[in-house]
């Protein structure tokens, strides 16, 4: 199996549920994990859990419905790390029309 040690992983929805579990697992495997989500206290708790286990996590608060904010976070990741190796999109959309066919950049 290929190692992901040293890779840069961005996880949306990282504060709870599957996103949190993915972020923790990636950090345990050696990736630097950028944690995004709307609720900073939950992101901070995940970052602390990762750090306590010897991993590396950074927080980038984000509501994925804000397209400009998504691009801004992506740019900060590129500026800080020079690359992005993995994107795990686990954030939910709190929109009345949630089907893929109904979603566009306008929200």
Domain that holds residue 20: 8-93
Domain assignment present for residue 30? The answer is yes
In a domain, 53, yes or no: yes
Number of domains within the chain? 1
Tens of pLDDT along the chain (107 residues)? Answer: 789 999 999 999 999 999 999 999 999 999 999 999 999 999 999 999 999 999 999 999 999 888 999 999 999 999 999 999 999 999 876 667 666 676 666 54
C-alpha dist (Å) from residue 88 to 20, 21, 52, 96, 97: 11, 11, 22, 23, 22
The verdict on residue 60 lying in a domain is yes
Q: Is residue 64 part of a domain?
A: yes
């Amino acid at each position: 199996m290929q190692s992901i040690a040293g890779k840069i992983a961005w996880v949306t929805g990282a504060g709870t549920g599957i996103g949190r579990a993915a972020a923790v697992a990636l950090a345990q495997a050696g990736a630097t994990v950028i944690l995004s989500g709307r609720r900073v206290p939950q992101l901070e708790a995940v970052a602390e859990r990762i750090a306590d286990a010897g991993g590396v996590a950074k927080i980038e608060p984000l509501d994925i419905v804000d397209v400009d904010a998504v691009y801004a976070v992506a740019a900060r990741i590129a500026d800080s790390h020079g690359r992005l190796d993995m994107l795990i999109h686990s954030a939910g959309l709190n929109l009345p029309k949630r089907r893929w066919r109904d979603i566009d950049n306008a929200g």
